[in-house]
Amino acid sequence: MRPGLGAYLRNALRGGGWLLLPVFVLLAVAAWLPKLPVTRDAYDHLVIFDVSQSMNVEDYQLDGKPVSRLEFAKHSVAEALKNPKCDTRIGWGVFAGRKVVMLLAPVEVCRNYSALLEALSGIDGRMAFERSSEIQEGLLWTMINVRDLKPLPTVIFMTDGQEAPPLPPERVRSYDGQIGEVRGWVVGVGGDEPRPIPKTDAEGARIGYWRGTEVLQWAGAASSTGGTNHEHLSELREPHLQQLAKNVGFDYLRLVDSHSLDQALHDRKLSHPAEVDTDLRWIPGGLALLLLAGWFWPDWRPFRRPTT
């Protein structure tokens, strides 16, 4: 005669089998628990790429091959997005002349990862809408105009620091707004050795290199603003960028390798609290797994009655 349901349950619960009841409850909770709002550190970034012709100088390497400053900057950003926090929003902009054009407003990384990479791959020197490169003015213009974006993003401004035309020291000026209302990093891109600047046509094809007689030169020795007497050559103007960063209340970072940007993009000083819908089903699911492991582990069943 087959035992009834009551006898079956009594046998199942005898000797520690009661541990299976909370397992079933926890698994049910894990199956039905919705995402819950949790306050976490969130990030909103606007990454701005200098697309002036000096950013075409090839003084980085990828896979043993020389690549331009702009390509390496884009590669570094793409690397930083490989392990994103899903509460991060990021967007792209380009700088040329005196202004910045926002190409893509900050969007959430995890849901838009492929679209972000596709938009990033399309950024190149053909987007330059002016031949000049007045970096100080571009950075100050960004500070003023980014304040209209909601939520207010942090700015990651990536450039080699070469002002074209050269910036006289008497024209150096600071941000006239409140320092700290816009936060971010100035990222220095490029090497220390002066190298020829590729000249390109309207289609982005290389047609030679800029010569000394074709660009406005700096008269005299190198200046504190980065001007030199070889403006047809380009190297990272690091002291100038450090000063610009200080003038607007930003931090400065040099792009040394493809992992350098991790510090800037995940700087907790640039985060803000935000309610994020978070999947917490792993908590009851993990507890259920622990209880099951305890049930099947022979030496961990103190309530199991010895069999005779």
- Give the predicted TM-score (pTM) of the model: 0.78
Q: Strand 154-159 vs strand 198-200: parallel, antiparallel, or unpaired?
A: unpaired
Output the pLDDT for position 62.
Answer: 93
| Distance separating alpha carbons of residues 44 and 281, to the nearest angstrom | 27
Output the pLDDT for position 8.
Answer: 47
Residue ranges of the chain whose pLDDT lies below 50: 1, 5, 8, 303, 308
- Residue 212 DSSP SS3: helix
Output the pLDDT for position 300.
Answer: 52
Structure token digits, residue 300? 């961990």
Beta strands in 109-183 (DSSP E): 154-159
Output the pLDDT for position 107.
Answer: 93
Task: Provide the Cα torsion 50, 56, 57, 60; round to 10°.
Answer: 80
Helix extents (H) in the chain: 5-13, 20-32, 69-80, 113-121, 135-145, 238-248, 261-265, 282-296
Q: Strand 36-50 vs strand 88-96: parallel, antiparallel, or unpaired?
A: parallel
Number of residues in the chain: 308
Output the pLDDT for position 278.
Answer: 66
